[in-house]
Chain A
Amino acid sequence: MGEISEQVNQKNALGWAARDTSGLLSPFTFSRRATGEKDVTFKVMYCGICHSDLHMLKNEWGVSTYPLVPGHEVVGVVTEVGSKVEKFKVGDKVGVGCMVGSCRSCDNCANNIENYCRNYILTYGAKYYDGTITYGGYSDVMVVDEHFVVRIPEKLPLDATAPLLCAGITVYSPLRFYGLDKPGMHVGVVGLGGLGHVAVKFAKAMGVKVTVISTSPNKKKESIEHLGVDSFLVSRDQDEMQAAMDTMDGIIDTVSAPHPLLPLIGLLKSNGKLVLVGAPEKPLELPVFPLLLGRKMVGGSNIGGMKETQEMLDFAAKHNITAEIELIPMDYVNTAMERLLKADVRYRFVIDIANTLKSSS
């Protein structure tokens, strides 16, 4: 009897999914679970396109299941809350990032670092507690446990805030954890894309001097004039790189393609930290001498916990930080993916879900 009423209360949902490793997206009808007592149901307004979506669509990490509805930079407006939900009410502006569940009982969960829980549940392409596969934010409605929902501060515009839910927390967390957030420090940001440009904004707001390291000289002007970057290094320019050696306290490396670490390690001062947030699938070459001779470190970081994600949004609101986006209609998404592959976007695509995801598409 319970089962039937659950099915009755399930919601019809419309999304766009890929059916195979071509990664091509097209309309897909499915259903969302009934709003449980701890769940928040919200109408999706916007969803950012993360480079991870592209990797997952094409099964580049070997973990994808199809049909795959991506999207983990999701913002919207609450339409229903479960009986035990305390933090949200109908009409609230909310967001969901990369996770929708975790074990809730391990040390990491207890310490607000659900992102390091062994059993954390990704927003899409993962198995939920009830055995169903999770579908992400390229869809019109989502139902998420309130613990994994964040409040979008009033003053932040929803569309330009969506990318903060993955890109934002992914760079904010290591700036804090590795102590690269002290005024007067000098931090490098490798790669000026979705993650990189947000890293620049956060670091500047923290009072840090920022140098962008990029393969694209044509990004220099905008990064200095528009993003407020202090200096810009073209990584293939050996003279520029040599002149900047031993100058940085830390580097946030957002590049997920294979690339050499030696020149980056050379940019660090003694005790400097190179933090990788992009994750190339193949190992990179680690030259050991330069690490030893300056007592330098190479570390990693993976998104952030729910508490820190909320903190990041509040920090962004305080400092008027949002992503630079290109708003697109749902049916542009395949073209957007092709352009994303060529890094042809300033600096994040965001899908205008509410206005363009139509059942007639």
Chain B
Amino acid sequence: MAKSPEEEHPHKALGWAARDSSGVLSPFPFSRRENGDDDVTIKILYCGVCHSDLHSCKNEWGVSRYPLVPGNFMESESLALNAPGCVATHEIVGVVTKVGKAVMKFKVDDKVGVGVMISSCKKCDCCKQDLENYCPQMMLTYNSINHDGTKNYGGYSDMIVVDQHYVLRFPDNMPLDAGAPLLCAGITVYSPMMYYGMTEAGKHLGVAGLGGLGHVAVKIGKAMGLKVTVISTSPKKESEAINSLGADSFLVSTDPAKLKAATGTMDFIIDTVSAVHPLLPLLSLLKLNGKLITVGLPEKPLELPIFPLVLGRRLVGGSDIGGIKETQEMLDFCAKHNITADIELIKMDQINTAMERLARSDVRYRFVIDVGNSKL
């Protein structure tokens, strides 16, 4: 008979999980594995609430919509949802409580973080080039299935055990709560900015969507010396975007006159919007050779008009988080430039309300759960 989540592993753990596609979370006792030689055990203090958590808890990325791609963990993700519960999140910050014999990088009491992945093959070209995020065997922090058939549970819980390779050192001067969202939101925008060359001071970056990812992209863009324009459907975000986040300008994407005036002015756009949305208005904002990089994950395919790509030699690219080395680099960069997320701190038992508000984009700009001070 299959073991219950509480019995699977030796260490009891408490978390909050979604049981079905209603996405409603409730207390969930389960267990974590023994701390192996390469492992670090972390007492979780804070975790960010990522929009992916909402998608996952409600099974909005059901595999039936996506044909099988080799190594597609989405299939295992959807299967995993049918198992006892989905304990989400991958923006985890805490303190080391135990290290395995082979662990050199961390010691007890170190402040550390865990992001979107907890394992990869370590042997393929991607892993060898510090691109574990593109490894076909990459294992997500939550909702993935291990080789032994047990399931991985994320950070809406009191502790986690992770291979040291996938643990990040938290910079000393970075506050733990406001730094947590960088572990997914931060690296998700930092990596494409580096890869697609959005680092040249003076270039013009558009950031579509001013939420968890978008607001961090603005801060990182400004720190790189870029001119930054926020592109948003919400006019009321303008004042804060400019006065508080430091954006240079703000475009309401539903205003045709404003869009027209900004035609062909941007070198890059980071598109953080996770709902289905039209690409044509964004493509028209790009200069010749401009790049639209999509990092949000809409459930359905988007419509791609081809003429703007051909006539302006533009491209649409994707990017998926970043490797561990780059994630550490991003944290150090943010610490150097005093970049953290703008957060709303909540307790664990407020998570369902937070999810409802997140679905309406009613948050400035990331919920972070004060796990350490919550009753689980």
State the A residues within 8 Å of B (CB). 108, 113, 116, 177, 245-246, 261-262, 266, 270, 273, 276-277, 279-281, 283-302
Contact = CB atoms under 8 A, between A and B. Distances in A.
Given A276-B309, A288-B297, A293-B320, A299 B315 contact: yes
Most buried by A among B195, B295, B296, B307: B307
Interface in B307-354: 307-320
Interface in B261-316: 279-280, 288, 294-298, 301-316
Nearest to A262: B67
B226 interface: no
Contacts of A292: 294-295, 297, 318-320
Contacts of A295: 134, 195, 317-320
A283 B303 contact: yes
B198 to A, nearest CB: 14
A266 B313 CA distance: 22
B1 interface: no
A281 B72 CA distance: 32
Given A245-B69, A300-B311, A288 B298 contact: yes
Interface of B: 61, 66-67, 69-70, 72, 74, 126, 131, 134, 195, 279-280, 288, 294-298, 301-320
A293 B316 contact: no
A30 to B, nearest CB: 29
Given A246-B70, A288-B301, A289-B66, A294 B313 contact: no
Nearest to A116: B288
Contact of A283 (B134, B288, B305, B310): B305
A279 B307 CA distance: 6
A290 B288 CA distance: 25
Most buried by A among B70, B74, B280, B316: B316
Given A283-B306, A302-B310, 13 more contacts: A116-B313, A245-B69, A262-B67, A262-B301, A276-B306, A284-B306, A286-B279, A286-B316, A289-B66, A292-B294, A295-B319, A297-B315, A301-B310
Contacts of A266: 69
A284 B70 contact: no
A293 B279 CA distance: 19
B70 A291 contact: no
A108 B304 contact: no
Nearest to A298: B316
B306 A291 contact: no
Contact of B288 (A108, A270, A280, A289): A108
Contact of A279 (B296, B310, B317): B310
Sorted from nearest, which 8 A-B pairs have the closest CB atoms? A300-B309, A291-B318, A299-B315, A292-B318, A300-B310, A286-B304, A297-B317, A283-B303
10 contacts: A266-B69, A277-B310, A283-B280, A286-B279, A294-B318, A297-B316, A297-B317, A300-B314, A300-B315, A301-B313
Contacts of A280: 306
A294 B315 CA distance: 15
Nearest to B138: A293
Contacts of B294: 288, 291-292
Contacts of B307: 279, 281
B188 to A, nearest CB: 10
A293 B317 CA distance: 11
Contacts of B318: 288, 290-297
Nearest to B131: A270
Contacts of A293: 69, 72, 134, 318, 320
Given A302-B310, A302-B313, A287 B320 contact: no
B320 to A, nearest CB: 5
A173 to B, nearest CB: 9
A266 B310 CA distance: 21
A112 B67 CA distance: 43
A299 B302 contact: no
Contacts of A245: 69-70
A283 B70 contact: no
A291 B66 CA distance: 13
A287 to B, nearest CB: 4
A222 B94 CA distance: 63
B163 to A, nearest CB: 22
Contact of A298 (B66, B72, B309, B312): B309
A299 B69 contact: no
B313 A291 contact: no
Nearest to A296: B318
Contacts of B67: 262
A285 B303 contact: yes
Nearest to A293: B320
Nearest to B298: A288
A289 B310 CA distance: 23
Contacts of A261: 304
Contacts of A273: 315
Contact of A289 (B195, B297, B319): B297
Contacts of A270: 126, 131, 134
Nearest to B68: A242
A32 to B, nearest CB: 28
Contact of B311 (A246, A287, A294, A302): A302
A108 B66 CA distance: 41
Contacts of A301: 310, 313
Nearest to B134: A270
B338 to A, nearest CB: 29
A281 B308 CA distance: 11
Given A276-B310, A288-B301, A298 B295 contact: no
Contact of A294 (B66, B134, B195, B295): B134
Contact of B304 (A113, A116, A285, A290): A285
Contact of B302 (A281, A286, A300): A286
A266 B318 CA distance: 13
Nearest to B74: A289
Contacts of A291: 294, 316-318
Contacts of B316: 286, 291, 297-299
A285 B301 contact: yes
A294 B311 CA distance: 26
A160 to B, nearest CB: 26
A276 B305 CA distance: 11
Contacts of B126: 270
